[in-house]
Amino acid sequence: MAYDLKLAERIRAELKGVPVIEKKMFGGVGYMLNGNMACGILRGDMIVRVSSDKYEKLLKRKHVKVFTMKNGPRAMKGWLMVEPDGYKTAKQLAQWVKIGVEFAASLPLK
């Protein structure tokens, strides 16, 4: 399994009413708003796109780490990976989805 299907169901439910497009990418799935990725899933982790002014603060949260492709050395600034314990509750998941959607909505249309 390339990504957590139950997490995908939870994110879809959280995004209900938001005009996102679900797109398979990098062995996982991304949720695109106006052509910009808001959040996604890679294996069991949630990927969240965040603004540069919030990046360092959010990176300090428990169960959050730098996003790298295939555990490569290059960090993807502005992208975070949230481990399962960081999105376990509905409230936690809703907060991460909101952060990603708000940032994606602030970007120019693609």
pLDDT of 71 reads 56
CA–CA distance, 66 with 58 (Å, rounded to integer): 10
pLDDT of 76 reads 75
CA–CA distance, 42 with 70 (Å, rounded to integer): 10
Question: Average pLDDT for residues 83-109, to the nearest whole number?
Answer: 97
Whichever domain contains 81, its CATH number is 3.90.1150.30
pLDDT of 67 reads 87
Q: pTM of this prediction? A: 0.92
Domain that holds residue 49: 5-106
pLDDT tens, residue by residue, 3-44: 899 999 999 999 999 999 999 987 899 999 999 999 999 989
Look at the chain and report how many structural domains it folds into. 1
Question: Average pLDDT for residues 72-83, to the nearest whole number?
Answer: 82
CA–CA distance, 20 with 30 (Å, rounded to integer): 10
Q: Which residue has the higher pLDDT, 107 or 68?
A: 107
CA–CA distance, 9 with 36 (Å, rounded to integer): 20
Q: Is the pLDDT of residue 73 over 70?
A: no
Asked if 99 contacts 75 with a C-beta cutoff of 8 angstroms, the reply is no
Q: Is the pLDDT of residue 88 over 60?
A: yes
Q: What percent of the chain has a predicted confidence (pLDDT) above 90?
A: 81
